[in-house]
Structure 1
Amino acid sequence: MKKILLIEDDKIIINILDFLLKKEGFETHIATDGIQGIEKIETVLPDLIISDIMMPFKSGLEITLFSKTNYPNIPIIMISSLGKEDQTVVEVSNLGVDDFIAKPFDPTELVKKVKHLLQTNLV
């Protein structure tokens, strides 16, 4: 069973994604701030990370930098209410984020991206 780490501070988004991913047969782990996210990357060693950019304590930028430095093979999907042209989104993309989805988004579309990245990366 593939492990997905959800790093998101919006409880509604977490609940929706947690439900949908479990329904698709994934094991989910949740972090509601950037510090928890980094800790769970190390303890869970997920097969894929889904993270918001704007997080309490540590940003998606810091989470991405930590993950890609220490675990470069773990794919990351970044979600954000920032536009694709926003400088923070550009910086995260330059750090190696594998995919980006803007809020609001269709949760089933995110699940499709998860499946695609896990097949592509053969994680």
Structure 2
Amino acid sequence: MGEPDMEQRDPNQLNDHIQVKFEEVFGEPDAVRSVDCVWKNSYKCFTKTFSICYKLLTLICALPIAFCWGCEFACTACYHVWYFTPYLRWFEMTMNPIRKMYVICLTAFVAPCMETMGLCFSKIVVKN
């Protein structure tokens, strides 16, 4: 793993759904308008508060949360490598004889009936 891209921090657009802009939260219809300075300062207040709070929260929480998620994904990888995948392989090996018996029974008993029904129904002609 290399260094993180400091410009493009969401290259897979994982969080497009949480992009919040002032215009997506507040909107005044034409019939109701506040004073221009209130609208402009509300915009500044919202964007600055959002930015500062986000930076403060990430400063406090990002490292511990990243540590926890690192542990979570490490546990998931370990589980898959050392338990889940070998279990699936064991299950596949164990069920293979049963699968073969099932195929033999279907081929011996069900397939002839289905072929016969197919032949019978293939003779039906539907006219308009």
TM-score class, shorter-chain normalisation, is: under 0.3
For the pair shown, which has the larger CA radius of gyration, 1 or 2?
A: 2
TM superposition score normalised by structure 1 = 0.23
Higher RCO (CA 8 Å, separation ≥ 6 residues): 1
Structure number with the higher strand fraction is 1
TM (normalized to structure 2)?
0.22
